[in-house]
Chain A
Amino acid sequence: MTSNFAKVTNERADIELDCSGLLCPLPVYQVSLALGQLSPGQVLRLVTTDPGSLEDIPALARQTGNTLLAAERHEDHQLFWIEKGLRS
């Protein structure tokens, strides 16, 4: 796990994606499609409930050249802010 989990994040977001209730690989699939619609520098805010996404979303960011700005880990869900990279 290379990302930093903060209690509170003040990151802005350009679009929101709610993947609550979806299991792997659907959050990664949905994020990939959503990032495809963004321009470099724009930020996606993601909600997940699959605990696997704690590792999957940082992996997605690493593999696709997008930046995981922040992540919040809550009792029953996770929040992620992903900035669209230049090369993705």
Chain B
Amino acid sequence: MTDTISHPSTDEVVGRRRIALVASKGTLDQAYPPLILATTAASLGWEAGVYFTFYGLDILHEERLQRLKVASLANPAGPIQLPNLLGALPGATAAATKIMKKWMSDARMPTVPEFIEMAQGLGVRFFACSTTMGVMGVEEDDLIKGCEIAGAAAFLDYAADADVQLFV
């Protein structure tokens, strides 16, 4: 996989703040916070990197990222307030997802793929967890372009120099 992100020279790095985020969840609603924070940080001139691990790797998965969903079950704060028994019915997840997408669209918020494009355009680095890839059978070619495959040590090495570290 080619690394399309340019690395700033040492001079530019001096004094620059850095944020290191972990995206561990693969639902539509939980894809937004790390992407919003990374995009904001990059807009502030910070270096930003997001480590996508476990279900969070779906956000980098070219096909799966197009159909991220909102859970209708065991999600009391979700877009549809249903008892869990009803939330398990066929179509409930699709309904919750549809409502969330409408909320976002009505509020003129970008979609998840649009946020990914914005973030990458600002130089946000996307790290794909190599263990998750191995466990879940995800190949490099399954991921969007511009990702860097990294293990936990490589991410911690990056995060150790960050001013802000957040886990989502």
A residues near B, CB below 8 A? 21-26, 28-29, 31-33, 59-60, 63-65, 88
Contact = CB atoms under 8 A, between A and B. Distances in A.
B36 interface: yes
Given A25-B36, A63-B17, A32 B109 contact: no
Nearest to B109: A23
Contacts of B107: 23
Contacts of B46: 63
Given A24-B36, A28-B40, 19 more contacts: A21-B108, A23-B109, A24-B40, A25-B36, A25-B39, A25-B43, A26-B110, A28-B43, A28-B44, A29-B43, A29-B118, A32-B44, A32-B45, A32-B122, A60-B43, A63-B45, A64-B44, A64-B45, A88-B45
Contact of A29 (B17, B39, B45, B108): B39
> Which size class do B's interface residues fall under?
10 to 19
A9 to B, nearest CB: 24
Nearest to A30: B43
Contacts of A59: 44
A64 B40 CA distance: 12
Interface of A is mostly: helix
